Structure 1
Amino acid sequence: MPQIQSELSFNGLSVLYQIAHLLASGKDLELIMSNILEILETSAGMKRGMITILSPNNEELAVDVARGISETDKRKGKYRPGEGITGKVVATGRPVAIPILDAEPTFLDRTGARKGLKHSDLAFLCVPIKSGNVVIGALSTDRVAVQDAVTLEGELRFLEAVSDLIAQVVQTRRRDYDRIHALEKENLELRRSLENKGKPDLMIGNSSSMREVYRQIGQVAPSITTVTIRGETGTGKELVARAIHQKSPCASGPFIAVNCAALPESLLESELFGHEKGSFTGATAKRIGRFEAADNGTLFLDEIGEMSLSAQSRLLRAIQEKEFQRVGGSDSIHVNVRLICATNRDLETDVREGRFREDLYYRINVFTIALPPLRERGADVMLLADYFVKKYSRLHDKNIERISTPAIDMLSAYHWPGNVRELENVIERAVIVSTGNVIEGHDLPPTLQMKDASEQGERNDSFENLVAAYERELIVDALKDTQGNQTEAAKILGTTKRIIQYKITKYNIDFLRFRRGDSTGDDE
Structure 2
Amino acid sequence: MNDTVTLEINVIDSFEEFSHCFTGECRVAILPILYEISQVLTDSADLTASIPVILNTMQNHLKMQRGIITLYDRHVDTIFIHDSFGLTEEEKTRGIYALGEGVTGKVVEKGKAIVAKRLIDNSDFLNRTGSSYKKRHTKTAFFSVPIMRGQKVLGTIGAERVYMNPQLLRQDVQLLAMIASMLAPAAELYLVENIEKVRLENENSRLKNTLKKRFKPSNIIGSSKPMQDIYQLIHKVAATKATVLILGESGVGKELVATAIHYNSPSADGPFIKANCAAFPESLAESELFGHEKGAFTGAVATHKGFFEQADGGTIFLDEVGELSLSVQTKLLRVLQERTFQRVGGSKPINIDVRIIAATNRNLAEMVEEGTFREDLYYRLNVFPMMIPPLRDRGSDVITLADYFVKFFAQENNKDIKRISTPALNMLMSYKWPGNVRELENVIERAVILADDDAIHSYDLPPSLQTEKETKAADTPSGITLESRIQAIETKMIVEALKNNNGHMGEAAKELGLTRRMLSVRMERYGISYKSFRTHNNDTHKKENIG
- 8 Å CA contact 1:302, 1:343 repeated in 2: yes
Q: Aligned letter for 2:262?
A: H
Matched with 2:381 is: 364
**Which of the numbers 73, 81, 85 marks the counterpart of 2:151?**
73
Matched with 2:335 is: 318
2:446 maps to 1:429: yes
- 8 Å CA contact 1:200, 1:242 repeated in 2: no
Q: Distance in 2 between matches of 1:72 and 1:172?
A: 15
- 8 Å CA contact 2:430, 2:469 repeated in 1: no
**Which of the numbers 452, 476, 484 marks the counterpart of 1:466?**
484
- 8 Å CA contact 1:235, 1:420 repeated in 2: yes
Q: Distance in 1 between matches of 2:86 and 2:171?
A: 31
- 8 Å CA contact 1:29, 1:173 repeated in 2: no
Matched with 1:90 is: none
Q: CA deviation at 1:281?
A: 2.1
Q: Distance in 1 between matches of 2:400 and 2:67?
A: 76
**How do residues 294-333 of structure 1 correspond to structure 2 at under 5 angstroms?**
294-333=311-350
CA offsets 1:494-523 (integer angstroms, 9 cap, x no match): xxxxxxxxxxxxxxxxxxxxxxxxxxxxxx
Matched with 1:244 is: 261
Q: Distance in 2 between matches of 1:225 and 1:394?
A: 41
Larger mean CA deviation between 267-276 and 344-353 belongs to: 267-276
Matched with 1:385 is: 402
- 8 Å CA contact 1:10, 1:44 repeated in 2: no
3-state SS of the aligned residue for 1:341? Answer: strand
Q: Aligned letter for 1:364?
A: L
- 8 Å CA contact 2:271, 2:313 repeated in 1: yes
Q: CA deviation at 1:317?
A: 1.2
Residue segments in structure 2 that go unaligned for 5+ positions in a row: 1-51, 69-83, 119-143, 156-169, 489-547
- 8 Å CA contact 1:200, 1:239 repeated in 2: no
Q: CA deviation at 1:346?
A: 0.6
Q: CA deviation at 1:284?
A: 2.1
CA offsets 1:105-137 (integer angstroms, 9 cap, x no match): xxxxxxxxxxxxx99995579999xxxxxxxxx
Q: Distance in 2 between matches of 1:398 and 1:41?
A: 57
Q: CA deviation at 1:75?
A: 7.6
- 8 Å CA contact 2:427, 2:469 repeated in 1: no
Q: CA deviation at 1:287?
A: 1.9
Is the alpha carbon distance of 1:370 and 1:267 closer, same or farther for their aligned partners in structure 2, counting shifts above 3 Å?
same
Aligned residues: 372
Q: Distance in 1 between matches of 2:98 and 2:339?
A: 38
Q: Aligned letter for 2:388?
A: L
- 8 Å CA contact 2:147, 2:183 repeated in 1: no
3-state SS of the aligned residue for 1:451? Answer: helix
2:60 maps to 1:11: no
- 8 Å CA contact 2:66, 2:87 repeated in 1: no
Q: CA deviation at 1:184?
A: 5.4
Q: CA deviation at 1:351?
A: 1.0
- 8 Å CA contact 2:216, 2:264 repeated in 1: no
Q: Distance in 1 between matches of 2:97 and 2:352?
A: 35
Q: CA deviation at 1:20?
A: 4.2
2:434 maps to 1:417: yes
Q: CA deviation at 1:278?
A: 2.1
3-state SS of the aligned residue for 2:468? Answer: coil
Q: CA deviation at 1:263?
A: 1.8
Q: CA deviation at 1:407?
A: 0.5
CA offsets 1:130-151 (integer angstroms, 9 cap, x no match): xxxxxxxx859xxxxxxxxxxx
Q: CA deviation at 1:177?
A: 4.8
Is the alpha carbon distance of 1:71 and 1:266 closer, same or farther for their aligned partners in structure 2, counting shifts above 3 Å?
same
Q: CA deviation at 1:404?
A: 0.7
Matched with 2:9 is: none
Which one scores higher on RCO, CA 8 angstroms, separation ≥ 6? Answer: 2
Q: Aligned letter for 1:316?
A: L
Q: Aligned letter for 1:304?
A: V
Q: Aligned letter for 1:363?
A: R
Is the alpha carbon distance of 1:174 and 1:19 closer, same or farther for their aligned partners in structure 2, counting shifts above 3 Å?
farther
Q: CA deviation at 1:29?
A: 12
Q: Distance in 1 between matches of 2:418 and 2:470?
A: 33
- 8 Å CA contact 2:340, 2:350 repeated in 1: yes
Matched with 1:344 is: 361
Q: Distance in 2 between matches of 1:332 and 1:357?
A: 23
Q: CA deviation at 1:280?
A: 1.9
3-state SS of the aligned residue for 1:18? Answer: coil
Matched with 1:212 is: 229
- 8 Å CA contact 1:207, 1:379 repeated in 2: yes
Q: CA deviation at 1:458?
A: 3.0
Q: Distance in 1 between matches of 2:346 and 2:465?
A: 54
- 8 Å CA contact 1:200, 1:243 repeated in 2: yes
**Which of the numbers 282, 287, 290 marks the counterpart of 2:299?**
282
Q: Distance in 2 between matches of 1:237 and 1:13?
A: 60
Q: CA deviation at 1:235?
A: 0.4
Is the alpha carbon distance of 1:269 and 1:285 closer, same or farther for their aligned partners in structure 2, counting shifts above 3 Å?
same
Residue segments in structure 1 that go unaligned for 5+ positions in a row: 46-65, 78-117, 129-137, 141-162, 471-524
Is the alpha carbon distance of 1:327 and 1:317 closer, same or farther for their aligned partners in structure 2, counting shifts above 3 Å?
same
Q: CA deviation at 1:10?
A: 3.7
- 8 Å CA contact 2:319, 2:359 repeated in 1: yes
Is the alpha carbon distance of 1:10 and 1:257 closer, same or farther for their aligned partners in structure 2, counting shifts above 3 Å?
closer
Q: Aligned letter for 1:355?
A: T
Q: CA deviation at 1:41?
A: 8.6
Q: TM-score, structure 1 length as denominator? A: 0.60
CA offsets 1:328-374 (integer angstroms, 9 cap, x no match): 22222222111111111111111111111111111111111111111
Q: Distance in 2 between matches of 1:422 and 1:7?
A: 73
- 8 Å CA contact 1:186, 1:254 repeated in 2: no
Larger mean CA deviation between 267-276 and 420-429 belongs to: 267-276
**How do residues 84-99 of structure 1 correspond to structure 2 at under 5 angstroms?**
none
Q: CA deviation at 1:466?
A: 2.6
Identity %: 45
Q: Aligned letter for 1:238?
A: E
Is the alpha carbon distance of 1:7 and 1:28 closer, same or farther for their aligned partners in structure 2, counting shifts above 3 Å?
closer
2:249 maps to 1:232: yes
Q: Aligned letter for 2:454?
A: N
Q: CA RMSD in A?
A: 4.5
Q: Distance in 1 between matches of 2:484 and 2:437?
A: 21
Q: Aligned letter for 2:409?
A: Y
Is the alpha carbon distance of 1:374 and 1:5 closer, same or farther for their aligned partners in structure 2, counting shifts above 3 Å?
closer
- 8 Å CA contact 1:186, 1:253 repeated in 2: no
Is the alpha carbon distance of 1:453 and 1:396 closer, same or farther for their aligned partners in structure 2, counting shifts above 3 Å?
closer
- 8 Å CA contact 1:322, 1:336 repeated in 2: yes
CA offsets 1:230-282 (integer angstroms, 9 cap, x no match): 00000000011111111111111221111111221122222211222222222
3-state SS of the aligned residue for 1:462? Answer: coil
